[in-house]
Amino acid sequence: MKLKQVIKIQEVLGNKIPVDMAEKWVYHSDSREEWVDIMELDVIHAIRILRKHMGEMSDEQPDVDVDVLWLD
């Protein structure tokens, strides 16, 4: 499922969508060697990109136990 579909579902469910979600943001895909609209990304791919960039931004990950609620 693409991010734009997730936003649309949120809208249908009656959740307010922030106005900046309509802005076009692009991400440079290393594998495709081109700029990609982030709303066209699959959710899983977007999570992987976020993890990759968060890892680059922080030198050290905190040693914190986190309950993974969505796997229940």
Greater pLDDT, 63 or 21:
21
Write out pLDDT tens, residues 18-61: 999 989 999 998 888 999 999 999 999 999 999 888 876 665 66
Greater pLDDT, 63 or 36:
36
The neighbouring-strand residues paired with 37 are: 26
Q: Which of 11, 45, 41 is nearest to 24 (CA)?
A: 41
Q: Are 44 and 1 in contact (CB under 8 A)?
A: no
- Which SS3 state, helix, strand or coil, does residue 58 take? coil
Q: Which of 9-13, 22-26, 64-68 has the least mean pLDDT? A: 64-68
The tokens describing 10, both together, are 């949120």
The angle that helices 43-57 and 3-12 make with each other, rounded to 10 degrees, is 110
The pTM score is: 0.70
